[in-house]
Amino acid sequence: MSSYNIALNFEDGVTRFVECKAGEKVLDAAFRAKINLPMDCSDGVCGTCKCRAESGAYDLGDDYIEDALSDDEKESGLVLTCQMVPSSDCVIAVPASSTACKTAQSKFAATVTKIEPHNDAAVVLELDVDAAVSAPVFLPGQYVNIDVPGSGQHRSYSFSSAPGATKISFLIKKIPGGVMSTWLESAQAGHAVELTGPLGSFYLRAVERPLLFLAGGTGLAPFLSMLEVLARTNSQQKIHLIYGVTRDLDLVQVEAVEAFTAKLPNFTFSTVVADAQSDHPRKGWVTQHMPAESLNDGDVDVYLCGPPPMVDAVRKHFDDNGVKPNSFHYEKFTPNAAPVTA
């Protein structure tokens, strides 16, 4: 009998996955996992369990009243979890915090398998999830908090690997004197770390139109995860990635990006370096090298991950030029803070 992974995204950024059996309602699957989604009647009458289905196939039946869920609401993607029966994996936005639903962030342990420096700019950290734990489930684009051993502190990093494997990876910016950067200087294969997550509302939605990916520095990481998922699903959509950095040395994992041109028939990318002294063929900012065709007259989903000045500059560029993409998802990050998503 089939079962489906249902991602419950709570408004405080916590994501929990539950297994929904064939024919089972989402509300019942959540309760079975000891997650108390909002509800009152559980009969399709009160509308208290109303959430938004962001992706996936499902059936709502007809055993609910219109006062609980109108046709307009249904068309916009709203669902009643007490009536929703999935027929595929689904992503559901829950309009409540994880604590209100009496659940919490998931923790899991992993072991360092590889630490690969990239110039003085970044480090690729690869981990193996402990054998006693199943492969971590997350949405491509999400992040985790990694506890820095011996510091009592954690740092937030997006997965650069795709979901479904026990080997996971992260692209980490080198910060002189930084807590994580300092630990990585002496860390070795076999060292244990603890992670909390997945977290964040920056993740790949259902792909129904062309995609424009805008990456700044180590903000490339979530796009590597997204591209791997798109390659696995044999996506035929047009995808263009613009990867902007400050210096030539900050261009890392370009070979990994290049490899996707062979895996995805309609994938293209370009790199941009801000340093005016660079010999790079494209100098300046990503907004100066954004081809009109990549915006597809607004029929495009835009994903942006980078430092706050880059995110703010792109948003201003769109506003100043009247660019209104179908959807615009962004995540801004600073070296010592959790990402901010929208």
Tell me: pLDDT of 330 over 70.
yes
- In the chain, where are the structural domains located? 3-94, 107-199, 211-341
Tell me: pLDDT of 1 over 60.
no
Which CATH number does 107-199 carry? 2.40.30.10
Mean pLDDT of 58-65: 94
Whole-number Å distance between alpha carbons of 337 and 342 = 16
Which CATH number does 211-341 carry? 3.40.50.80
Whole-number Å distance between alpha carbons of 243 and 213 = 8
Tell me: pLDDT of 51 over 80.
yes
**Which stretch of DSSP H or E encloses residue 114?**
strand 107-118
Tell me: pLDDT of 335 over 70.
no
Per-residue confidence band for 338, with pLDDT thresholds at 50, 70 and 90: low
Whole-number Å distance between alpha carbons of 120 and 132 = 35
Tell me: pLDDT of 177 over 90.
yes
Please tell me what DSSP assigns to residue 254. H
Whole-number Å distance between alpha carbons of 225 and 210 = 17
Could you tell me what percent of the chain has a pLDDT over 70?
97
Per-residue confidence band for 336, with pLDDT thresholds at 50, 70 and 90: low
Tell me: pLDDT of 241 over 60.
yes
Is domain 3-94 in CATH 3.10.20.30, yes or no?
Answer: yes
Indicate the Cα dihedral angle 226, 179, 167, 6, nearest 10°: -50
Contact residues for 57 (Cβ-Cβ < 8 A; gap 6+): 86, 87, 88, 90
Q: Length of the chain, please?
A: 342
Q: How far is CA 203 from CA 72, 277, 341, in A?
A: 26, 35, 10
How high is the pLDDT of residue 337? 61
pTM of the complete model: 0.88
Per-residue confidence band for 60, with pLDDT thresholds at 50, 70 and 90: very high
Could you tell me what percent of the chain has a pLDDT over 90?
89
